[in-house]
């Protein structure tokens, strides 16, 4: 909590650091019937309310009082509120009104009857298919905001709402930027303070805050995707999604590209990430052609396009991996089969038949090998690339 409500003379309180009860702020919002507290976070308190004039449910967000708030905050709040009001999109929580009541700044927003993504993940009901259905909607919301010149800067499960019909709504667009203490005129790439939530923030938000742009949201979305797939955060030398759960191995590359440390190697537009995710969610076997993530220097291997989940490729099932010993065995079978055929045509009938029998069917082994070996090399190189970048992808405190 960046400030205490007890410092606010407008609010009657009985103990320090306590959030105001609905009855304590009712007189400041005569147009609303404030019903209950929906939640509290580092940026403010959200109440469930009824807008009397239209008889509709709304959410009232009161920004936390901050005694160190700069003098330009009121002007910045008005300017940013007008910008956020332009975000009229089905996957973005809409702002109906904003202003100042007493010493408090507030937003009256669309009420979403449902849960946030964090609650859904904690319930244990999240499946890979659910993650693939959620991400395109998040991409649509972010793409629309980015076109309007607005970066969220705090994409995390708590800010992703899911209503009772399964529709996704992104909340708190621009709030993190608004609460930064600065008189700077903010734009999409304007200088920023370090703002956001640990583990979901892009590296440049820590290291180069003046260079933060829309690609910071893409990084945060990559963290959320990984967490939805595996139930864990991508910290340190984290395992690939396909190693944690039975999912399409192509998702590994989507996650890695979204989590690239260097913004130039990351997805440049969130719509590209949406396209790649939809190729998988639609069951397409088409390779993800938009992904051209360069591997670390010294490794010039270009990954072979992978089949869709469940595709049969000579006994190889994506996500299950194979030991190098299997590859060696196949090469031995091919060698023995070739030797047997050679001896057979050389007139060594008995030994030739034994070699062929021992080596197995040479052409079948060769055919299987053509599919198996490249994919084993792909997995090995992909893991090596990830290990080389492990320290860069982690932002532990």
Query: Which is it for the CA torsion 380, 384, 386, 387, positive or negative?
Result: positive
Q: What are the tokens at 396?
A: 């532990």
Q: How many residues does the chain have?
A: 397
d(CA 83, CA 106): 15
Query: Which is it for the CA torsion 188, 144, 93, 395, positive or negative?
Result: negative
DSSP string for residues in 29-52: -TTEEEEEEEEE-SSEEEEEEEET
Q: In what order do the strands lie in the sheet with 160-163?
A: 114-116, 160-163, 168-170
Burial 250-272 (b: 16+ CB within 10 A, else e): bbbbbbbbbbbbebeebbebbeb
DSSP string for residues in 119-164: HHHHTT---HHHHHHHHHHHHHHHHHHHHTT---S---GGGEEEET
Options 55, 97, 154, 163, the catalytic residue: 154
Measured in degrees and rounded to the nearest 5, phi and psi for residue 394 equal: -95, 140
CA-closest candidate to residue 217, choices 170, 278, 249, 185: 170
Q: Has 252 been annotated as catalytic?
A: no
Report CA dihedral (19, 22, 26, 28) to the nearest 10 degrees: 20
Residues that are catalytic: 154
């Amino acid at each position: 909590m960046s400030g205490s409500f007890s410092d606010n003379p407008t609010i009657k309180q009985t103990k320090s650091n306590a959030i105001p009860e609905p009855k304590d702020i009712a007189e400041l919002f005569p147009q609303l019937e404030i019903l209950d507290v929906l939640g509290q976070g580092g940026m403010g308190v959200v109440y469930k309310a009824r807008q009397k004039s239209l008889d509709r449910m709304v959410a009232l967000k009161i920004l936390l009082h901050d005694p160190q708030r700069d003098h330009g905050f009121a002007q910045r709040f008005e300017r940013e509120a007008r910008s956020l009001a332009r975000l009229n999109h089905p996957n973005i929580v809409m702002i109906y009104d904003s202003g100042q009541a007493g010493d408090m700044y507030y937003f009256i927003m669309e009420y979403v009857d449902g849960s946030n993504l964090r609650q859904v993940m904690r319930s244990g009901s999240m499946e890979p298919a659910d993650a693939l259905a959620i991400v395109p909607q998040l991409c649509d919301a972010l793409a629309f905001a980015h076109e309007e010149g607005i970066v969220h800067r705090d994409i995390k499960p708590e800010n992703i709402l899911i209503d009772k019909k399964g529709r996704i709504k992104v909340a708190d667009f621009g709030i993190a930027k608004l609460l930064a203490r600065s008189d700077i005129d903010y734009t999409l790439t304007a200088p920023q303070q370090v703002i956001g939530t640990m583990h979901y923030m892009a590296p440049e938000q820590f290291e180069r805050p003046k260079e933060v742009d829309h690609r910071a949201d893409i990084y945060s979305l990559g963290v959320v995707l990984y967490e939805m797939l595996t139930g864990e955060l991508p910290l340190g030398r984290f395992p690939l999604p396909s190693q944690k759960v039975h999912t399409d191995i192509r998702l590994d590359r989507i996650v890695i590209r979204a989590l690239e440390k260097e913004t130039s190697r990351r997805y440049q537009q969130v719509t590209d990430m949406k396209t790649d995710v939809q190729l998988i969610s639609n069951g397409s076997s088409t390779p993800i052609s938009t992904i051209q993530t360069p591997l670390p220097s010294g490794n010039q291997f270009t990954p072979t396009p992978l089949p869709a989940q469940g595709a049969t490729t000579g006994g190889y099932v994506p996500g299950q991996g194979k030991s190098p010993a299997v590859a060696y065995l196949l090469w031995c079978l091919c060698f023995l089969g070739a030797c047997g055929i050679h001896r057979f045509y050389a007139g060594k009938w008995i030994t030739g038949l034994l070699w062929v029998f021992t080596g197995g069917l040479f052409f079948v082994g060769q055919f299987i090998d053509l599919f198996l070996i490249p994919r084993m090399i792909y997995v090995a190189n992909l893991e090596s690339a990830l290990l080389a970048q492990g320290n860069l992808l982690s932002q532990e405190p």
